[in-house]
Amino acid sequence: EKNFLEVDKLQVAFRTDKGEVVSVDEVTFQLKQGETIGIVGESGCGKSVTSLSVMRLLGRTGMIKKGSIQFNGKDLTKLSEAQMREIRGNEISMIFQEPMTSLNPVFTIGNQMLELIHLHMNMSKSEARAYAIEMLKKVGIPRAEQLIDEYPHKLSGGMRQRVMIAMALSCKPSLLIADEPTTALDVTIQAQILELMKRLRQESNTAIMIISHDLGVIAEMADKVLVMYAGQVVEEADVFTLFDEPKHPYTKGLMESIPHLEHDSQKKLFSIPGTVPNLHMMPKGCRFHDRCPYATEKCVTEQPPLLSIPDNHNHRVRCWLLDEQQQQTPTDSRSEV
């Protein structure tokens, strides 16, 4: 099966008053139709910037410096702004935690939804209204028949977020980008939204990029996972391999941050000591070295490449330790890092 989205060696930089900073560095991944990729990492690791690059929503200060984004036969990095506007909201939809393209305060929910649906779904006005109400109900909005005629300021933040999700899903995009889509919502609504995304994927073969710091959401939704740290991919694998056999010390640290409530409600949420490096002062060598319990001399001076594991070429890891271990014990790549 052909790849539907191919991001190749993407590099994104932002202009700041202290100079240019690279916030996404040589990120590569592929996505097939109907497939879901999860992107995890702490905030500031380049997850959101990666997804905003696909939408080409980098603002005035952001720019794609290198690489390509092949989407459905087009290189998105080469399209004009007018061509991108046709793709956004139609072929590619995005859901934000804090809706950036927030609802327009001077129009009712219905006006805004109907315009979008009318534009992209080839429906009559009355069909579009019935469909909008149905979508609002699907995202768990009570009294959708009344709410559709309200103005956005009458709604709570959580309700507005659900309206945004209903709008993003209503055009049945072929690619849905969801950046922390359910973080601000309570668990019941969160589960409903995830179900809705799964149904969309099933019905419309939608490809999904889901960005989350919540590994539970990733485990439930993703087919494969990218782990990002300091603008780079540090590990990539299918979801089962990643959770069963994480190789990168950063990935392992993230896994240990999941609270094991069912085993011991007193257990503290473990988090990796230290912080994500400042983009203006990116450390030499491995970007994780000052937080890594396994760091060696080499880690401090030389940057590890992203390499495939010999017995699983879809599992890629950026860590010197793995390289050495494979040289020492080539037959046992499953040993603990």
> Which option in ligand SF4, Mg ion, none does residue 246 bind, with CB closer than 5 to 8 A by kind?
none
Distance separating alpha carbons of residues 75 and 206, to the nearest angstrom: 19
The CB-of-38 to Mg ion minimum distance in angstroms stands at 13
Q: In this chain, which of 47, 56, 201, 289 binds ligand SF4, going by CB under 6 A?
A: 289
Interface with ligand SF4 includes 286 (CB under 6 A)? yes
Angstrom distance (rounded) from CA 92 to CA 168: 9
| Contact mark string toward Mg ion, 47..86, x via CB under 5 A | -x--------------------------------------
158 in Cβ contact with 164 (< 8 Å) = no
Q: Counting contacts by CB under 6 A, is residue 288 touching ligand SF4?
A: yes
| Residue 286's binding partner out of ligand SF4, Mg ion, none, with CB under 5 to 8 Å set by partner kind | ligand SF4
Q: Is the dihedral of CA 256, 36, 190, 56 positive or negative?
A: positive
Structure tokens at 220: 């439930």
Instruction: Decide which of ligand SF4, Mg ion, none touches 40; Cβ closer than 5 to 8 Å per partner kind.
Output: none
Could you tell me how many residues of this chain bind ligand SF4 (CB under 6 A)?
A: 12
Residue 319 makes contact with ligand SF4 by CB under 6 A: yes
| 152: contact with ligand SF4 by CB under 6 A | no
- Establish if 299 lies at the interface with ligand SF4 (CB under 6 A): yes
- Short-list 151, 318, 327, 161, CA closest to 250: 318
Q: How far is the CB of 25 from ligand SF4 (least distance, A)?
A: 15
Give the shortest CB-286-to-ligand SF4 separation in angstroms: 3
Return the amino acid letter for 124.
S
Measured in whole angstroms, how far is the alpha carbon of residue 76 from the centre of its chain? 18
Q: How far is the CB of 7 from Mg ion (least distance, A)?
A: 17
Nearer to ligand SF4, 201 or 289 (CB): 289
Instruction: Give the C-alpha distances (Å, rounded to integers) separating 274 from 182, 278, 285, 323.
Output: 27, 12, 17, 25
Distances (CA, A) of 146 to 109, 136, 150, 311: 10, 11, 7, 57
**Taking every pair of C-alpha atoms in the chain, what is the biggest distance, in angstroms?**
69
- By a kind-dependent CB cut-off of 5 to 8 A, residue 48 interacts, out of Mg ion, ligand SF4, none, with Mg ion
SS3 for 181-213, per residue?
CCCCCCHHHHHHHHHHHHHHHHHHCCEEEEECC
Q: Of the two residues 201 and 287, which places its CB atom closer to ligand SF4 in the complex?
A: 287
Is residue 304 a contact residue for ligand SF4 (CB under 6 A)? yes
Residue 231 makes contact with ligand SF4 by CB under 6 A: no
Cα 45 from Cα 64, distance rounded (Å):
16
Interface residues toward ligand SF4, by CB under 6 A:
249, 286, 288-289, 292, 294-295, 299, 304, 319-321
